[in-house]
Structure formats: C-alpha cells, structure tokens
C-alpha cells in the first residue's frame, strides 16, 4: 500500500504586495500631480511610419497632459496645417488627435505626407515625432500567360512568383487549389523572394495547381497568381510516340538521370554583401540544387554564431539572427554539400545602427534657486548628431535663459526661477533614423503632499512581506520618515526596508507588526503625515488532512479536511480530483469539512485534493484513493433481476415515441429503476447509448428523438444487487431528416506554426447530424480590422489550417454545421490566435538594486507586446555567482533560474551570498519559448555578518591560564576586522560571574588567557566581526587546574601529607573507581580529573579511612559458624585417631587407604594438594579464580566475597597462616607471581569499606 499525502501552500499577499510596490515605483517628485502647474507632456502619438488602410478614415493620434490643459496645432510637410480649411479634417474634443474622413469619396493618397503635432500651454510646448502617413497599396497581379513546365526527373526547377509591389510588401505562400499548403522539405522550399525552389524534381512533383498567393496585411486581401502546371518525366518511361514528337532540346539534351554536385540557385556568384540595422532580424539565404539533395551548413568566419540568437529556418537554408548588433558584423559562409562535392557562398554583413538611447532626458522638477541637469546621450553607427530644442524651437534661436547653459549632450541649470519652466527636446539623428525625446523643466515651490489615501488598510499573512505605501510629491523633494503608531519612535534598523518611492517594507511581518504606521514627508516648505493600518493574519492550516483510502468496489468512502484559519478571514473549501473538477455525480456529497463518495466505482480511483482558500492565502492537501474488487462472499441468496421482455413502440411521432415493456423476475430484490438505451443502426450500429431511466414501478416512457436516426431500444432492470442483462432490442424506428439543431463544440483557434491558424472543433456525432451530407462551414476573420468573413466548407474533418497568417494576431472564428436540408443555428464566435513565434527582443534597462547582503531587486523595462509574438507567460532571470570577493577565486558557474509570471517588470533574488560578484540576464517567455537574453548585468552584494568560527579549542590549563585556539569562519561574508572574546566565571552553584570582553585582531588564531583563578570553571563566548557587524558566536567551557601537576590524560589520584601523588588511569565510560592499599585511620586527598576536547576538568575531596577492626566481615575467627566448624573437624580427627589406634592394637593389617578412598565420608575428606582447597568445597562455582587484578588490601581487611562461608582459594604455608586476631596475612597463594604486573589494575567489585571511603 502506497500512502501519498501532499500539502501545498501559497500566499496571495506576497505577490500582490510586490505588484503594488512596483506599480508605485518612482512616484516621486518627477510625477507632478495634475492639479499643479506643469508644461505639456505627450502621452500618446501615432507611429513614425504610419501605413493606413485606404478604405478607412485616417486617425493620427496626439494626446497630451498639462496644467493648464494644452492646446494643439499641426504641421504637414513642415508648414502649418490649417485644419479649418479642410472639411474632411476634424480634431477630437479635448484632444489633438486628427480624424481625416475619406469614407465618402475621399482619397487617402491625397493626405500622404509628414505630420507633426505641438501641444502648448503657458509653461512650454511639447512636440511629437514626425509621423509619415502612407496609404497601403495592394495592386493586382499582372496578367501573364503561364506556360506549363516540362521537367526531366532529377533536374532543378524554380517556379517564379513575382508578386506585385505593395505597401507594405505582401506575405507570400504557395498552396494548391484546395487552399492546402504545399508540402516543403529539404528538396522543395520557398525562398525569401517568394519563389519555389526544387533542388531536384521527382515524379510526384507532377501537378497542375502550383499557386502563389500574396497576402496584403493592411488591406486584409489575398491575391493569387495563375496556377502553374508542372510535369516531370522520366526518359525510361517515355514511349516511342512521345519520343518521336519531342526533340532532344525539349529534353535538355535527353541525358540519362545522373547524380551531380551542388550548385547554388540563390544567391548567385561566390560573394555578396548585406547591410542590416542594429536590433533588426538578419536573414541570410542559400538555396542549392544537386542530386542527391544538398545539405546546407552555415559558419561565421573568424568567430562563432551568436548563442541564443541564432535560428535556422527553411530546412537550414535560411540563417536568422535576431537582435543583431555591431558585433555580428563579419563574413558568413553557407556550404552546400552532397556525396559528390560541395560549393559555398560568402556574405559580408555590415551592421549599422539607427540612433538608440544611452540616457534619454527625464522630466526635471526644481524649486526656485535649485540647480539641475538634463542629459541626452545616444549612440548609433554612424554616431548620431545631438541637437536641442526648447518649446519646439532650435535652442540656438530660442529666447535666452540666464539659468541655462548648453554643453553638448547636457543642459546645465543653475539658480532656476519660475520663468525657467519650459519643455526641452533632444533630437539624435543619423542617416538611418532619429530619436526625439521631450523633457520638461518645471520650477515649483510646493510643500509636501502624500498621494496615498489616508487610513488605508493592508492585510498580510504572518511571515510574509508587508509593503506600506507612501506615494508623495513636493518641491524640493521631501524626505520620508516612518513611525510605528501615531506618536511612536522613528523606524530604523534591519527589520525594515525603506524604498525610494516612500514605501515601507517589512520583509517578515509578524503578529506584533499589526498596528498603525505613520508616514511623514517634509521639506523646507512644510511637512505632512499620513496613517495606514497593517493587520497581520494567522496563516490558514489544514490540521486534519485527507488520508489514503482503499475501499472495495460498491462501498463508500469519506475524506476529512479540517482547517484552522484566522478568525477574521472567511475560508472556502474546494475539492478537486486529479487536479480537475469533481464529477457531476450525486454520489459525491460535500460536507463542511469532508467529502463522501457513495457506491464507489473503479472510475473513482485517483488523487483527491482539499483546497482551502481565503482572500490572502491558500493551502491544500491531497490523498490517493484506490478502489479494489469486493471480497468474495458466500453463496448469493439474492440476485440481479431477469431482463425485461415484450418491448413495444407506440405513439410514433417525428421527435418522440412511447416505449413499453414487461418486467422480468426481480429475484427477491425489488427493482429500483429501469435504464433505457438506444442504438443508432444508421450511424453507429452495434453501439448502445444511454437514453434515460425511470422508477422501478414504471413500465412505459415517452422518449425524445433526434431526426435522421434509425432507433432500436432496449431496457435494463436494476435492483440493489445490480443490473439485469439487457432485454431483446425493440423494432427499429427511423426518424425523418432535418437541419442540424446544434453546432460543433470545443471550437478553438491556435497556431501550430508562426504563419498559420489551426481551427479545431469537436465533430458532431452521427445522430446529431439530423440528416445526410453533414458538413461544416468554417469561417474566420482577423479581429478588430473590419474584414469580411472568409469561409470554407469541409466534411469528415475536425480541423482546418489557415496558412499565411501574420504571427500571433487575434481571429474571430466560428464553425457551423450543415447538411443537405440546411444550416444549424448561427454559431457563437470564438477568439483564437495565429501561431506564436519566439520573442524578438530582450528586456531592456536591466537594473539591480541591492536590498541587503542576501537579497537583490531586479527591475527591467518590459518588451513591447508586439515583439512578444505570443501569449506573454512572464520573464525569466538567469543569475549565477561569479566569485566570492573575500576568497578571490572564481568558482564553477551554476546558473539559477527564477521565473516571474505575467507582465512583471521586477523580481527579487533571494538567497544570495554576501560579498560576492554575480551576473544575471533577463529573458521574456511566451508559449513558444524564451526570447533573447539581455546583456549580462554584473552586480556585487555587500558585506554581511560572518558565520561562527569553524572551531574553538581550549587547551593547556594551568593554575591561572588557559590557551584558546580557533579557526576562521567557514563563510566570512566579508573582510574580517576582529574577533571578540567574552568570558565569565561559573561558581559551584552555576551562577555566572562578571563578563570580561577582549577584542582580538583578525589575523590571530590563538590566545593565552592569564591571571585567571585556579580551579575555576569559565564560560567563553567567541565570534568574528566584519564592518557590518558581529556574526554567530560559539561557546565553550573550561576549568583551570588546582596545582601545576601535569595530568596528561584522565586520571584518578590519591595522596596524603607531602607524599607523591599516586595515579590510576580510568576508562572514560566508568563512573567509579576503587582505591586499594590504603592505611586504616588515615586522611587522604582524592582528585578526579577528566580531559576532553574542551580542556581539563577536575574535582577533589578529603576523606579518612576507618580502623582495621571496623568490619565484622573480616573477623572470621570470632564467627560462631567458624568456631563450630573447627570443633567438628577436631572431633572427627580425634575419632579417626581412636579407630586407627584400636585397629593397630588388634594387630590386623588392612588396606586402610583404599577403603577410605572408596568409602570416605565427604565431611572428612582431606584437603586437596593441587589447589589448596578443602574437599567438601570443591564445586565448580567455588573453583572460580580471583578476578584479574584482585589483591589483599594493605589495611588487612578482606572483601566479603573473599571470606563468605568457606576457606576456598586460601592456600597453605606461611602465606596462608592466621594471625592472632583471626585474619589472614600476606597475599593469596597462587597469585603472588602476577602481583607486579597486576598491581595497578582495578577491582570490578569494591569492598563495602572501601566504597564508603572513596570519593569518585
């Protein structure tokens, strides 16, 4: 059984907050509120090159804002355009937009020319670009006689299109007379000029409908050339009659089919030149003929083709480089190769550049007496000329302003006054184009104002960022301060981030962040404040998750989902199955915090997810549900019903009929309902479909019918056990044909290629056709351009491909069903899009703002939507660490990717390493893929606080000193400036003493601490510092020793008076030790010490041994049992002597020894000589030797285990004698030889006396 429980969580507030932040980005003093005086600003204008549809009115846009509202005027071809003199020309109210009415007899060609708009008020004048108006042209194809092409198999062929010259040039594509795109491949392809090239022809190329189409986008018209007939012949297949009628010349010399090396069909010659402008798409083409078909390869001489900007199209015959720059200039070579040889062509590419901005001038708001600058910097190839205008007049002839000084591409303002307000235009131009930018200088004295609404409420989930807005304006630019509460202290420190636009960011909002925040804006003219409110909510959590379930088929199951949420938020719980909606089935019952499924089936298998949503966050948890077969049961008493029978059709009408039947036997389980099914014998014979069901008490039903269906019906009875076998089919009933009642569903318009639109739909089922001859009318037109519908009628298909469409434009689409009797009702229109292509341009103006040492904010300019060429899915940031600035060595580049969905213009890069160099680039993403990358942007993170030192060791303890050794931090995160050591003593009650702090240079790795107290425990705190602050600290403890004795390893020592210390080494896992050889009645000093990684620690105490007779266990001779034993032994010996004496007196000789050996009393066995033990105690247990290292204590005491109830293990001889007080003296016999080697070993079981007098 596999349990799979998944939980996900997302917070809505964070993403919404970042959106708010960047929508408010740069709402500073440059964005002047419209209620204040300001020069005009052009807000909207038509494109520089404006091609208009000659069938529609011409609208030339010019919108501007200003205070007072600006007035508008126009020039045409450099002279004043008097609108009042032309009845066809009007101006939109409150606007400068021109509308030229050509719908009633006017001609667009009459209004072609160069237009420029001027918006003016009392503070200055702004001008638009020069707008060149040209009328679109789509001339007819020149009539010509197209001769059939008779080509020998294997020869090359070029079908020329030669389209009419239009404005703009048309899009060319080749199709057949069924509007189907002609297949293209490495052998057959269309060139950039529209011609169709055959590297070699084959018999299957024979056809009579090679048609070249020209699509003129602006007029939405398609024109076609006369069809071209191509016949491919083979010399081997020609009969004698054809051969007799054709000359050798007609057959290109009638040579047999032979292979040949490649030659180029286009371009001609071995070299050519091409000039392209920076930022455009470079297209280079090579098409070759040969047999076998040549393969094309592209190389750049002396360099590599640019990565991520190079694409191969038209089966590698076209080299495409997007966003070309000057670096792409050079020689490009195409090589065509087949097995017989190769040929090549070199194209010299020169990239020029129309002017492009380096720094465009920006609006300048100054207060009287202030200074400022306008900067206008542009580049191009050749380098553009910079010229300035003021209020639309060249600055050289404009009225003088003493506060203004022009210095090339910069205008310097000093001590400005209100009369200095004006609009300045910067024009950068070269032979390939121009740039024009308006920037005003507005001199205002304005106290601060806050544009964010008062008492605005912000709500976020705990542990997420909170962003509080304070959009402001003032002149001079106000300073912004934030306070917590109405009269709280000013907010500072690492807990907050203050943005240039006035926004306060709390990176990690907590519950205690809730409250009122006050934003104060002040300049020399005054101050203003605004209050906003923040509420931090508890996150939503699932405290009872759905669990994995295995249920038998037909059973029921319940999934629980209990949530905990902030009481002020209203949650909603949604259940999904396999990431989709729950089936629309009454068996699924949803309660407040659970989901129940009744009568489960195999289709209910899957993953069920509970999703809890609030307005601020969302959480989910999933569980897998498995349905298994039911467990076999004993013999079934009840059974499914018998099938119904005797079906009859009555009341036969065109759209309805009555069905009746007789129920079968219910097999002891009542029939609950009847299921009626039907078969369409005309369209789907043998396939039965559900029609309806009725109660088990009903035996007739009125059925609704569809036209043009050959119906048969059957009935199935259902009881609690299951379904019966189907009844026999009823008689057939054929309904009359009619027009379709419905249209296809699921209509979509998507593009599979950049130049097509694929229209797909769900075809109607056979019974939905309502009659013979089912077809579909497919209609489409480009949205919002006023085209007529283009329609085709198709049959037996579910898709239609519209070729030659522009890249990613919206289309209105509809699919209508029809049959021989007519059309279905008018279908609904669906919006689709033609095919996507990769984005053309990279995001510009990529800027990186360092928030802190681990977080950076990236901002970029969005790409124009028309260059996205598809559904904008978002922007993707690639970033990687180049090197650590502290380690000064490069590392392996591991690129990281962050994707920001939607039309974002910013993103946050978290998790950066402090004090490091990074690079990043930004790309736009659509449904086709990624666009080109922006130029790599280098940025550096500032220093941060270091990690803790890699290690800290305390060694060499003495009476008054300790030695500290340490390693630098693993991650310094900057330049270390020092280490800080803090320490304090710890007394015996674990209380901390005064704290001492020492600052240590960063290049030191050890320190000897002197003048410490002896035998004292100290606690040490150690951390490194950078210029940013202190890092994480590490702590250790150590103890100074009591004297200067060098204890090299853990030991136990004992000593008295001035005698030398005696030491024993103890295993570190032991918790006790027995001291041997002590003198009774003597005071001893005992010290226990341990040495580890943190140093040496010891403790000591003084104790006194007891007197020699202190223990009853050692005085064996005074014990009653011992005296009795000795008396019994003496009595036995006496009896034995008497018996021997009597026998001897009788004079008999007996084998006494043998009989004693055979019948000896166990109690009178002599002591064995081999082990020195008494015979009656010779069992295995008492034969155990003394444990290793055991010996007699020097104070003449004996352990209890050595003197319990026997004399076992005591030998004879001098070392086994009793002394006067009944105790043994000397050493145990048999152990004397081992004493020197074992004298320092410890005993595993200490005597009670020694245990009481030991200090461990």
Cis peptide before 401 (omega within 30 of 0): no
Residue 319 counted as domain residue: no
**Nearest in space to 384 (alpha carbons), one of 438, 436, 423:** 436
Nearest to 330 by CA among 309, 351, 344: 351
Is residue 1023 in a domain? yes
428 & 463 share domain:
no
* Domain membership flag for residue 316: no
Domain end: 135, 165, 186, which one?
Answer: 135
Find residue 1017's DSSP bridge partners: 986, 1039
Least confident of 585-599, 643-657, 1179-1193: 1179-1193
Is residue 720 domain-shared with residue 758, that is, in the same domain? no
Residues 659/677, Cβ–Cβ less than 8 Å? no
634 in a structural domain: no
Concatenated DSSP letters for 591-659? -SSEEEE-S--GGG-EEEEEEEE-SSEEEEEEEEEEEEPPPP-S--SS-PPPPPEEEEEES--SSEEEE
CATH code of the domain containing 385: 2.60.40.10
Please say which residue of 258, 273, 295 terminates a domain.
Answer: 258
Distance of alpha carbon 171 from the chain centroid? 40
User: Which residues fall within 8 angstroms of residue 692, CB to CB, at 6 or more apart?
Assistant: 676, 701, 703
DSSP letter at 1182 equals: T
| Structure confidence at residue 1043 as a pLDDT band (50, 70, 90) | low
Select from 624, 631, 605, 628 the least CA-distant residue to 551: 628
Question: pLDDT tens, 390-440?
Answer: 999 999 999 998 999 999 999 999 999 988 999 999 999 999 999 999 999
Same-domain pairing of 1116 and 1248: yes
Please report which helix (H) or strand (E) contains residue 331, including its range.
Answer: strand 330-338
* Mean pLDDT confidence for 475-495: 85
C-alpha–C-alpha distance, residues 405 and 394, integer Å: 14
More confident call, 6 vs 794: 794
Distances (CA, A) of 1164 to 928, 1106, 1151, 1177, 1219: 110, 40, 18, 12, 25
Over range 553-570, report the average pLDDT.
Answer: 92
Q: Is residue 335 part of a domain?
A: no
In our burial notation (b when 16+ CB lie closer than 10 A, e otherwise), range 832-851 reads: bbbbbbbbbbbbeebebeeb
Q: Give backbone dihedrals phi and psi of 1022, rounded to 5 degrees, phi first.
A: -135, 130
Which burial class, exposed, middle or buried, applies to 124 when counting CB atoms under 10 A from its CB (0-12, 13-18, 19+)? buried
Together in a domain, 528 and 570: no
Say if CB 1166 and CB 1153 are below 8 A apart.
Answer: no
Peptide bond preceding 267 in cis form (omega within 30 of 0)? yes
Is the pLDDT confidence value at 534 over 50? yes
| The pair of three-digit structure tokens given for residue 114, joined into one six-digit string | 């160069």
The answer to whether position 1043 is within a domain reads: no
Q: Do 1161 and 1122 belong together in one domain?
A: yes
Cβ proximity of 419 and 412 under 8 Å: no
* Across 314-343, average pLDDT: 95
Q: How many residues are there in the chain?
A: 1256
pLDDT digits (tens, 9 = 90+) for 235-288: 766 544 454 454 444 444 445 678 999 999 999 999 999 999 999 999 999 999
- DSSP lists the bridge partners of residue 617 as 11
Run of H or E residues at 37: none
Q: Residue 1180: what pLDDT?
A: 39
Q: Say if residues 561 and 621 touch (Cβ distance below 8 Å).
A: yes
Whether residue 1119 sits in one domain with residue 1233: yes
Mean pLDDT to the nearest integer, 786-793: 90
* Ramachandran bin of 871, using left for φ above 0, alpha for ψ from -120 to 50, beta for the remaining angles: beta
Rounded Cα distance, 1105 and 573, in Å = 79
> In Å, what is the CA distance from 742 to each residue of 119, 265, 679, 814?
56, 53, 20, 13
Strand intervals (E) in 368-421: 372-375, 377-381, 385-390, 393-394, 404-407, 410-413
Asked whether residue 1051 carries a pLDDT value surpassing 50, the answer given is no
What average pLDDT does the segment 727-748 reach? 92
Tokens 């509080």 belong to residue: 468
Which of 178, 199, 480, 151 minimizes the C-alpha distance to 314?
199
Task: Please tell me the distance from the alpha carbon of residue 1124 to that of residue 1143, in angstroms, as a whole number.
Answer: 29
pLDDT at residue 2 above 50?
no
Per-residue confidence (pLDDT) for residue 5, from 0 to 100: 33
Rounded average pLDDT over 976-990: 90
pLDDT band with cut points at 50, 70 and 90 for residue 1097 = low
Nearest to 746 by CA among 799, 707, 792: 799
Residue position matching structure tokens 């930022």? 279
Q: What is the pLDDT of residue 633?
A: 55
Selection from 1232, 1247, 1205 nearest residue 1072 by Cα:
1247
Mean pLDDT of 523-534: 93
Q: Strand 562-564 vs strand 541-544: parallel, antiparallel, or unpaired?
A: antiparallel
Residues 6+ apart with CB under 8 A from 207: 176, 229, 230
What percent of the chain clears pLDDT 70, i.e. is strictly above it?
82
Bigger pLDDT: 217 or 517?
517
User: Is 336 within the bounds of a domain?
Assistant: no
CB atoms under 10 Å from CB of 360, counted, come to: 16
Q: What is the pLDDT of residue 236?
A: 66
Regarding whether 759 and 691 lie in a shared domain, the answer is no
Per-residue pLDDT at 1203: 39
Instruction: Answer whether residue 878 shows pLDDT above 90.
Output: yes
**In 3D, which of 48, 50, 115, 126 has the Cα closest to residue 77?**
115
Q: Do 1119 and 1218 fall into the same domain?
A: yes
Q: What is the pLDDT of residues 349-358, one digit of tens each?
A: 999 999 999 9
The boundaries of the domain holding residue 960 are 949-1038
Residue partners of 383: CB distance under 8 A and separation at least 6: 430
Residue 1150 has pLDDT above 70, yes or no: no
What pLDDT is recorded for position 1108? 52
Decide if pLDDT at 201 tops 50.
yes
The pLDDT, as a whole number, for residue 918 is 93
- In terms of average pLDDT, the best of 492-501, 976-985, 1100-1109 is 976-985
Are 151 and 128 part of one and the same domain?
no
Q: Are 662 and 644 in contact (CB under 8 A)?
A: yes
Confidence tier at 889 by pLDDT (50, 70, 90): low
What DSSP designation does 665 have? -
Report the DSSP beta bridge partners of residue 451. none
Rounded to 10 degrees, the C-alpha dihedral 791/793/798/803 comes to: -40
With contact defined as beta carbons under 8 Å apart, do 603 and 585 qualify?
no
Per-residue pLDDT tens digits for 795-821: 999 999 999 899 999 999 999 999 999
Does residue 728 register a pLDDT over 90? yes
Number of domains in the chain: 11
Rounded CA separation 65/62 (Å): 11
In whole angstroms, what is the distance from residue 541 CA to residue 464 CA? 15
CB 502 within 8 A of CB 486: no
> In this structure, are residues 1134 and 1144 in contact, taking their beta carbons and an 8 Å threshold?
no
How much is the pLDDT for 668?
87
d(CA 482, CA 524): 18
Q: Please check whether residues 785 and 662 belong to one and the same domain.
A: no
Question: Which residues lie closer than 8 Å to 14 by C-beta, 6 or more apart?
Answer: 460, 461, 464, 465
41: left (phi over 0), alpha (psi -120 to 50) or beta: beta
pLDDT mean over 768-783: 92
Q: Is residue 641 part of a domain?
A: no
Q: What angle do CA 894, 900, 905 make, to 5 degrees?
A: 110
Mean pLDDT of the chain: 83
Q: DSSP 3-state assignment of 249?
A: helix
Q: What is the 3-state secondary structure (H, E, C) of 995-1027?
A: CEEEEEECCCCEEEECCCCCCCEEEEEEEEECC
Confidence grade of residue 55 (pLDDT, cut at 50, 70, 90): confident
Residue (of 891, 865, 869) closest to 880 by Cα position: 891
H or E element, residue 1138:
helix 1120-1146
pLDDT of residue 651: 87
Please compute the mean of the pLDDT values over residues 455-469 and round it to a whole number: 95
The reported pLDDT for the residue numbered 32 is 86
- Lowest-pLDDT choice from 700-714, 972-986, 1161-1175: 1161-1175
pLDDT of 634 reads 57
Residue 665 has pLDDT above 50, yes or no: yes
**Are residues 380 and 397 located together in one domain of the fold?**
yes
What is the per-residue pLDDT for 1171?
A: 42
Strands 1051-1055 and 1017-1025: unpaired
CA distance linking residue 979 with residue 972, whole number of Å: 12
Gap between the Cα atoms of 1206 and 1202, Å rounded: 9
CA nearest 413: which of 476, 369, 444? Answer: 369
- Regarding whether 175 and 126 lie in a shared domain, the answer is no
**363 in Cβ contact with 413 (< 8 Å):** no
Last residue of a domain, one of 921, 940, 959: 940
């Amino acid at each position: 059984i596999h349990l799979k429980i998944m939980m996900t969580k997302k917070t809505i507030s964070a993403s919404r907050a970042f959106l708010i932040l960047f929508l408010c980005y740069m709402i500073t003093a440059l964005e002047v509120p419209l209620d204040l005086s300001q020069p005009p600003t052009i807000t909207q204008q038509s494109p520089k090159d404006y091609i208009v549809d000659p069938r529609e009115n011409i609208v030339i846009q010019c919108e501007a804002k200003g205070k007072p509202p600006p007035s508008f005027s126009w020039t045409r071809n450099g002279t004043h355009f008097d609108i009042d003199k032309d009845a066809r020309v009007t101006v939109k109210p409150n606007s400068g937009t021109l509308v030229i009415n050509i719908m009633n007899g006017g001609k667009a060609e009459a209004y072609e020319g160069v237009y420029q708009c001027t918006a003016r008020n009392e503070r200055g004048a702004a001008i638009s670009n020069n707008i060149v108006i040209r009328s679109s042209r789509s001339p007819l194809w020149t009539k010509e006689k197209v001769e059939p092409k008779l080509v020998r198999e294997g020869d090359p062929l070029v079908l020329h299109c030669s389209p009419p010259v239009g404005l703009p040039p048309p899009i060319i594509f080749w199709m057949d007379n069924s509007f189907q795109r002609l297949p293209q491949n490495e052998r057959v392809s269309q060139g950039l000029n529209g011609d169709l090239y055959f590297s070699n022809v084959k018999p299957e190329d024979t056809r009579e409908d090679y048609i070249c189409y020209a699509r003129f986008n602006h007029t939405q018209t398609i024109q076609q050339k006369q069809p071209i007939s191509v016949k491919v012949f083979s010399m081997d297949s020609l009969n004698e009659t054809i051969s007799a009628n054709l000359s050798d010349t007609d057959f290109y010399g009638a040579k047999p089919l032979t292979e040949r090396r490649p030659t180029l069909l286009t371009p001609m010659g071995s070299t050519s030149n091409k000039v392209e402008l920076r930022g455009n798409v470079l297209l280079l083409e090579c098409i070759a003929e040969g047999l076998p078909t040549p393969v094309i390869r592209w190389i750049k001489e002396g360099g590599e083709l640019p990565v991520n900007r190079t694409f191969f199209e038209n089966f590698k015959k076209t080299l495409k480089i997007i966003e070309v720059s000057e670096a792409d200039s050079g020689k490009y070579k195409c090589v065509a190769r087949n097995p017989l040889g190769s040929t090549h062509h070199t194209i010299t590419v020169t990239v020029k550049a129309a002017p492009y901005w380096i720094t465009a001038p920006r609006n300048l708001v100054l207060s009287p007496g202030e200074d400022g600058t306008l900067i206008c910097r542009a580049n191009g190839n050749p380098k553009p000329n910079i010229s300035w205008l003021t209020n639309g007049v060249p600055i050289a002839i404009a009225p003088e302003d003493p506060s203004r000084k022009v210095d090339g591409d910069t205008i310097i303002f000093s001590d400005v006054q209100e009369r200095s307000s004006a609009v300045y235009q910067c024009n950068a131009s070269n032979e390939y184009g121009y740039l024009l930018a308006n920037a005003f200088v507005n001199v205002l004295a304005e106290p601060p104002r806050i544009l964010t609404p008062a008492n605005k409420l912000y709500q976020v989930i705990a542990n997420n960022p909170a962003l509080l807005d304070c959009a402001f304006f003032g002149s001079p630019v106000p300073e912004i301060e934030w306070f917590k509460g109405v009269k709280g202290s000013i907010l500072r420190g690492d807990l907050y981030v203050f943005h240039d636009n006035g926004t306060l960011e709390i990176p990690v909002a907590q519950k205690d962040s809730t409250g009122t925040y006050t934003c104060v804006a002040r300049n020399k003219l005054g101050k203003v404040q605004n209050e906003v409110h923040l509420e931090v909510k508890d996150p939503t959590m699932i405290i009872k998750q759905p669990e994995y379930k295995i249920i038998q088929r037909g059973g029921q199951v319940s999934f629980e989902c209990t949530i905990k949420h902030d009481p002020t938020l209203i949650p909603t719980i949604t259940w999904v199955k396999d990431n989709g909606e729950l089936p629309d089935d009454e068996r699924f019952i949803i309660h407040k915090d659970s989901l129940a499924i009744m009568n489960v089936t195999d289709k209910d298998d899957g993953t069920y997810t509970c999703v809890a949503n609030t307005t601020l966050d969302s959480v989910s948890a999933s569980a897998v549900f498995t349905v298994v077969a039911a467990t076999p049961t004993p013999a079934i008493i009840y059974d499914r019903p018998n099938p119904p029978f005797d079906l009859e059709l009555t009341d036969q009408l065109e759209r309805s009929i009555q069905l009746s039947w007789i129920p079968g036997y219910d097999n002891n389980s009542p029939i609950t309902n009847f299921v009626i099914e039907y078969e369409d014998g005309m369209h789907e014979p043998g396939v039965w479909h559900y029609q309806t069901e009725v109660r088990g008490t009903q035996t007739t039903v009125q059925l609704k019918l569809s036209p043009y269906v050959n119906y048969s019906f059957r009935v199935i009875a259902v009881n609690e056990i299951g379904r019966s076998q189907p009844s026999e089919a009823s008689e057939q009933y054929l309904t009359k044909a009619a027009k379709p009642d419905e249209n296809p569903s699921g209509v979509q318009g998507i593009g599979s290629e950049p130049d097509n639109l694929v229209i797909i739909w769900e075809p109607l089922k056979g019974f939905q056709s309502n009659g013979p001859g089912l077809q579909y009318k497919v209609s489409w037109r480009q949205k919002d351009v006023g085209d007529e519908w283009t329609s085709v009628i198709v049959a037996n298909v579910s898709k239609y491909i519209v070729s030659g469409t522009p890249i990613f434009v919206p289309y209105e689409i509809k699919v209508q069903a029809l049959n021989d009797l007519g059309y279905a009702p008018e279908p609904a229109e669906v919006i689709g899009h033609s095919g996507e292509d990769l984005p053309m341009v990279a995001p510009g103006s990529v800027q990186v703002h360092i928030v802190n040492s681990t977080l950076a904010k990236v901002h970029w300019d969005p790409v124009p939507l028309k260059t996205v060429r598809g559904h904008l899915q978002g922007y993707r940031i690639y970033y990687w660490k180049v090197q650590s600035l502290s380690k000064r060595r490069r590392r392996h580049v591991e690129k990281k990717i962050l994707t920001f969905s939607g039309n974002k213009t910013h993103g946050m890069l978290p998790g950066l390493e402090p004090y490091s160099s990074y690079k990043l680039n930004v790309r736009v993403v659509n449904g086709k893929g990624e666009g080109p990358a922006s130029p790599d942007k280098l940025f550096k993170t500032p220093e941060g606080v270091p990690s803790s030192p890699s290690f800290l060791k305390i060694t060499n303890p003495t009476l008054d000193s300790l030695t500290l050794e340490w390693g630098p931090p693993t991650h310094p995160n900057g330049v270390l400036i020092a280490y800080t050591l803090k320490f304090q003593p710890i007394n015996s009650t674990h209380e901390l003493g005064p704290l001492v702090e020492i600052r240590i240079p960063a290049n030191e790795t050890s320190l000897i601490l002197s003048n410490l107290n002896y035998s004292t425990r100290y606690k040490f705190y150690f951390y490194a510092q950078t210029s940013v602050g202190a890092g994480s600290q590490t702590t250790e403890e150590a103890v100074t020793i009591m004297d200067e004795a060098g204890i090299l390893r853990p030991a136990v020592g004992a000593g008295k008076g001035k005698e030398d210390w005696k030491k024993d080494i103890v295993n570190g896992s032991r918790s006790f030790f027995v001291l041997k050889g002590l003198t009774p009645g003597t005071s001893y000093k005992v010290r226990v010490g341990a040495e580890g990684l943190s140093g040496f620690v010891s403790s000591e105490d003084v104790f006194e041994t007891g007197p020699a007779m202190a223990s009853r266990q050692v005085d064996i001779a005074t014990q009653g049992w011992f005296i009795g034993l000795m008396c019994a032994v003496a009595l036995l010996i006496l009896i034995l002597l008497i018996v021997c004496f009597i026998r001897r007196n009788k004079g008999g000789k007996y084998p006494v020894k043998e009989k004693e050996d055979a019948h000896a009393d166990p109690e009178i066995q002599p002591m064995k000589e081999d082990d020195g033990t008494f015979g009656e105690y010779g069992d295995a247990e008492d034969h155990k030797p003394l444990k290793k290292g055991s010996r007699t204590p020097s104070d003449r005491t004996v352990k209890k285990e050595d003197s319990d109830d026997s004399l076992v293990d005591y030998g004879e001889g001098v070392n086994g004698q009793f002394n006067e007080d009944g105790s043994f003296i000397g050493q145990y016999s048999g152990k004397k030889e081992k004493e020197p080697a074992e004298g320092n070993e410890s005993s595993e079981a200490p005597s009670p006396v020694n245990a009481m007098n030991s200090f461990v």
